[in-house]
């Protein structure tokens, strides 16, 4: 029932911009490496290279060097890609869904529903996200991955809901919505066919940019020891581990850090080009 044919035009639009093209290619590369890489690389946790030793600088056999536990850094970075990307993508998907739901309900039904929901959102936005995250994470000793994703997703939807609500309020007054009502369209069809696809554009842009945000937050939490715990290789956790060897063996922290930067840049490039691609279409 929801046909998203226009998303093809959106991607095409993003591709046609130089920044967008680079971002998309980079992101595609990162995703492919994350998906396929671990099959070709040794599992760093179970096969430490004791033969050659720890803290080896980048060289033959270990293109990114090894860390203090003799684990291959390249292999850990690639495995970490899987973790960091899936956490970010799933968390953002959750945020986007929650935000869309709440925003659409508030925008479409208006009145008391809208007022109550929006005051709740206002309250939630007033508290710094890090605070809420820390409070929630404190519930566990070692927060399991699934719970981390849910917590990240559940704290990131407030802004999206306001965005969606504003769009729905605007869209409700558009004449094509009136035309659909006049044709006898039931409420469900109006929401799914007319309001939702048109409200999606800003959500898409905001969500793409949020992926970068979440990667950084997760890295930060892991660095603080509150997120993903070792030995699971997340980029943030790797930097945490590399604290003591940052100056003596910089490659242990530099490569995961670089991975974070490149991924966030790629995601931002795509997000911004999507925003440009979707905007002029809006009439």
Partner 1 sequence: MSEPLLVVRDLVKHYSTGGVFKAAGPPIRAVDGVSFEVGRGETLALVGESGCGKSSVARTLVRLQEPTSGSAVFEGKNIFDLDRPTLRALRRKIQIVFQDPYGSLNPRMTVGDSVAEGLEIHRLAPRAEIPARVATLLQEVGLDPSYASRYPHEFSGGQRQRIGIARALAVEPSFLICDEPVSALDVSVQAQVLNLLVDLQARRGLSYLFIAHDLAVVRQVAHRVAVMYLGQILEIGPTEEVLANPRHPYTEALLSAVPVPDPDRQRTRILLGGEPPSPSHPPSGCRFHPRCMHPSKDERCSAEAPSLRPLGSAQVSCHYAR
> Which residue in 282, 260, 274, 276 sits closest to 85, CA to CA?
260
Q: Which residues bind partner 1 (CB under 8 A)?
A: 3, 5-6, 9, 111-112, 114-115, 174-176, 178-186, 189, 193-194, 197-198, 281-283
Q: Which is nearer to partner 1, 8 or 139 (CB)?
A: 8
Q: How far is the CB of 96 from partner 1 (least distance, A)?
A: 18
Q: Which is nearer to partner 1, 40 or 112 (CB)?
A: 112
Match 């998309």 to its residue by tokens: 24
Q: Which is nearer to partner 1, 197 or 220 (CB)?
A: 197
Q: How far is the CB of 126 from partner 1 (least distance, A)?
A: 18
Q: Which is nearer to partner 1, 206 or 238 (CB)?
A: 206
Q: Which is nearer to partner 1, 171 or 216 (CB)?
A: 171
Backbone angles phi, psi at 72, to 5 degrees: -70, 120
Asked if 236 and 228 touch (Cβ cutoff 8 Å), the reply is yes
Q: How far is the CB of 204 from partner 1 (least distance, A)?
A: 12
Q: Which residues contact 12 (CB under 8 A, 6 or more apart)?
A: 277
Q: How far is the CB of 208 from partner 1 (least distance, A)?
A: 18
Match 């966030």 to its residue by tokens: 264
Q: How far is the CB of 190 from partner 1 (least distance, A)?
A: 10
* CA 34/CA 124 separation, integer angstroms: 34
Task: For Cα atoms 3, 150, 225, give the angle at the middle one, nearest 5 degrees.
Answer: 135
């Amino acid at each position: 029932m929801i046909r998203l044919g226009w998303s093809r035009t959106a991607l095409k639009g993003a591709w046609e911009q130089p920044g967008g093209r680079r971002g998309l290619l980079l992101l595609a590369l990162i995703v492919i490496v994350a998906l396929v890489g671990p099959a070709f690389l040794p599992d760093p946790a179970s096969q430490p290279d004791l033969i050659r030793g720890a803290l080896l600088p980048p060289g033959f056999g270990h293109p990114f060097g090894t860390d203090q536990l003799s684990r291959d850094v390249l292999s850990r970075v690639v495995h970490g890609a899987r973790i960091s990307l899936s956490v970010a993508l799933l968390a953002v998907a959750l945020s986007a869904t929650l935000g869309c739901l709440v925003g659409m309900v508030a925008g479409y039904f208006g009145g008391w529903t809208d007022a109550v929901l929006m005051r709740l959102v206002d309250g939630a936005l007033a508290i710094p996200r890090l605070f809420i995250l820390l409070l929630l994470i404190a519930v566990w000793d070692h927060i399991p991955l699934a719970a981390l994703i849910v917590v990240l997703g559940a704290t990131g939807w407030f802004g999206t809901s306001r965005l969606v609500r504003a769009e729905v309020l605007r869209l409700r007054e558009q004449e094509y919505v009136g035309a659909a009502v006049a044709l006898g369209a039931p409420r469900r069809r109006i929401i799914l066919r007319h309001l939702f696809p048109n409200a999606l554009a800003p959500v898409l842009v905001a969500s793409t940019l949020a992926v970068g945000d979440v990667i950084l937050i997760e890295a930060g939490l892991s660095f603080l020891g509150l997120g993903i715990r070792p030995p699971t290789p997340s980029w943030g956790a790797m930097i945490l581990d590399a604290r003591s060897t940052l100056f003596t063996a910089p490659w242990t922290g530099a490569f995961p850090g670089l991975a974070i930067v490149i991924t966030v840049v790629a995601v931002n490039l795509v997000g911004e080009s999507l925003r440009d691609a979707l905007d002029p279409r809006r009439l």
